[in-house]
Amino acid sequence: MSKFTESFRNIFKIEELRTRLLFTAGLLIVVRIGSHVTLPGVDAGVLADAMRNQADNTLFGLYDLFVGGAFSNAAIFALGIMPYISASIIIQLLGAVVPFFQKLQKEGETGRKKINQYTRLGTVVLALLQAWGVSVRLESLNANGIPIVPVEVQGFFFAVSTMIFLTAGTMFMMWLGEQITERGLGNGISLIIFIGIIARFPHAVLDEFQLVLSGARPVIIELIIWGAMLLIVAGVIMVTQGTRRIPVQYAKRLVGRKVYGGVTQYIPMRVNTAGVMPIIFAQSLMFIPSTILTFFPESDFVGSIAGYFQYTSFTYSFIYGLMIVFFTYFYTAIAFNPTDVADNMQKNGGFIPGIRPGKHTSDFIDNILTKITLPGSIFLAIIAILPAFMVNFGITSSFASFFGGTSLLISVGVALDTLQQVESHLMMRHYDGFMKSGKIKGRIGR
């Protein structure tokens, strides 16, 4: 504990690191303040009454988790940074199938700037569409027959003002994220999502303790729940950090078939190359049936079908898990191309010992990648469906969301990345890091 305390004190001894840390904290505070500023025209008191009856394990409850409660507050930051994330995913997928975007990806810095411009444009379009949907939903909500948006306020001007405020809020948050990345610590966009998730954690813990204090849950059961959560977090860290290193021999001088003065490097292949993206893709698709079914509330047949797509149903979890396994392989194929790796190795005079260059090297790398991706994809599927099972075991839905899914993976990943940057600053100035080895493997720069 003394070593940890000393390392924490060293952070404030380094002027640049202290400035970056305070700058990041200040902008994140701005994000949290904006999450509580209600949109014009919305009655905050009636809204609070209406939100008490909303379930946390629905589509809107899950979305609200990633924006730190701003959606349930009908705040100007209600859309969060999610339109930007969606636009980035769309552009990235287009880069895998559309030649125009493939060309931009290969143009270096110039292409990257153009891709960023298209991403921002896509963010505005998606934010406007989602903001319009939010305005429609707000006009339909009421508490005990009292609408949260007064009847005299509803209409065209309310929709337009909501679209302007929400879109401006998303673009402002995107700008804050860029400022954190450039002048603060860690990835700004990831930290904004991270702070939104963590902001809900104290309320979830309080709900659990209230169950214990009221006698509804024995203390021993609560301790077992916390122990299981710690084991899950440890498993997530192991999978996100796990790699398989492939040795590559680079020759300084090659005469015939003999290598003189060679140097060995390694290709690190991650168990979870896709990160959290498969869960995001699968989750987006699984929301579609539930959303469509809500348009037919009076149909008994549709109601029976909707039961199979409930968040806590076995059918939902099974289909959800299969889709995550599929998208893990899909995204891994986009992010890591064995053919390109093999070609680059051959151009630079490198080879894998015992494997012939060219197609044989590509097939070897693809075989290894396929084998290590399978356990990673299964683990992702288990983590994703775990919150639904926790709810069925009687754990509150707000606390169960921290047992797995996107929230846990994002929280662990962002925490490791940020800690890795702090560690780098400490080591560069010859201070001891938080770990004995002085090295924490984050996702950044790996």
Helices (H), 141-263: 156-183, 188-199, 201-213, 219-241
Among 199, 226, 249, give the residue marking a domain's end: 199
Q: Average pLDDT in the 273-285 region?
A: 74
Give the integer Cα–Cα distance in Å for 184 and 113: 21
Record the pTM. Answer: 0.75
Confidence band, pLDDT 50/70/90 cuts, at residue 270: confident
Q: Which residue has the higher pLDDT, 36 or 283?
A: 36
Residue 439 pLDDT level (bands cut at 50, 70, 90)? very low
Lowest-pLDDT choice from 292-296, 408-412, 425-429: 292-296
pLDDT attached to residue 84? 87
317 and 357 housed in the same domain = yes
Q: How many domains does the chain have?
A: 2
Query: Is residue 348 over pLDDT 50?
Result: yes
C-alpha distance from residue 97 to each of 86, 90, 94, 128, 326 (Å): 17, 11, 5, 26, 18
- So what's the pLDDT on residue 168? 93
206-221 pLDDT, tens digit per residue, is: 877 888 888 778 888 8
Query: Distance between CA atoms of 217 and 202, rounded to whole angstroms?
Result: 19
Once rounded to an integer, what is the mean pLDDT over residues 6-23?
Answer: 79
Same-domain pairing of 245 and 163? no
Q: Of the candidates 144, 169, 199, which is a domain's last residue?
A: 199
Give pLDDT tens digits for 102-130. Answer: 888 777 778 888 888 898 999 999 889 88
CATH number for the domain that contains residue 13: 1.10.3370.10
**Angle ∠(312,317,321) on CA atoms, nearest 5:** 155
User: What would the mean pLDDT of 139-161 be, rounded to a whole number?
Assistant: 82
- The confidence score (pLDDT) of residue 171 equals 93
Question: Under a CB-based contact definition with an 8 Å cutoff, are residues 194 and 81 in contact?
Answer: no
Mean pLDDT of the chain: 77
Does residue 207 share a domain with residue 132? no
Predicted confidence band at 30 (pLDDT cuts at 50, 70, 90)? Answer: very high
325 and 339 in a single domain? The answer is yes
Residue at 66 is within a domain = yes
Do residues 238 and 177 both lie within one domain? no
pLDDT in tens, 152-191: 888 888 889 989 999 999 999 999 988 998 888 888 888 8
Query: Is the pLDDT confidence value at 259 over 50?
Result: no
Nearest to 422 by CA among 10, 5, 6: 10
**300, 158: one domain:** no
Q: Is the pLDDT of residue 339 over 80?
A: yes
Longest dimension (CA), the chain: 86
The pLDDT assigned to 121 comes to 92
How is residue 425 written in tokens? 């600053």
Counting Cα atoms < 13 Å in the Cβ hemisphere of 91 gives 23
Domain annotation covers residue 43: yes
206 and 154 in a single domain? The answer is: no
What is the β-pairing status of strands 243-250 and 142-143? unpaired
pLDDT of residue 432: 58
Residue 35 has pLDDT above 80, yes or no: yes
Domain encompassing residue 363: 201-403
What's the pLDDT at 417?
A: 78
Confidence of residue 29 (pLDDT cuts 50, 70, 90): very high
Q: How confident is the model at residue 437 (pLDDT cuts 50, 70, 90)?
A: very low
- Higher pLDDT pick, 437 / 146: 146
Asked if residue 232 is part of any domain, the answer here is yes
- The pLDDT value recorded for residue 65 is 67
Q: Is residue 135 part of a domain?
A: yes
Does 443 have pLDDT greater than 70?
no
More confident residue, 310 or 386: 386
Give the pLDDT band of residue 303 (cuts 50, 70, 90): low
**CB-CB contact of 38 with 73 (8 Å):** yes
Asked whether residue 438 is assigned to any structural domain, the reply reads no
119 and 243, same structural domain?
no
Residues 255 and 383 reside in one and the same domain: yes
Highest-scoring range by mean pLDDT, 134-138, 156-160, 267-271: 156-160
**167 and 278 inside one domain:** no
- In this structure, are 189 and 244 located in the same domain? no
Residue 445 lies in a domain: no
Given 184, 199, 214, which residue is the final one in a domain?
A: 199
- pLDDT of residue 445 exceeding 50, the answer is no
**pLDDT tens digits, residue range 372-413?**
888 888 888 888 888 877 777 777 777 777 766 677 777 787
* pLDDT tens sequence across 83-106: 888 888 788 778 777 888 888 877
Specify whether 213 is located in the same domain as 165. no
Instruction: Give the residue, 189 or 60, on which the prediction is more confident.
Output: 189
Q: Give the pLDDT band of residue 52 (cuts 50, 70, 90).
A: low
Of residues 291, 284, 316, 378, the one with CA closest to residue 85: 284
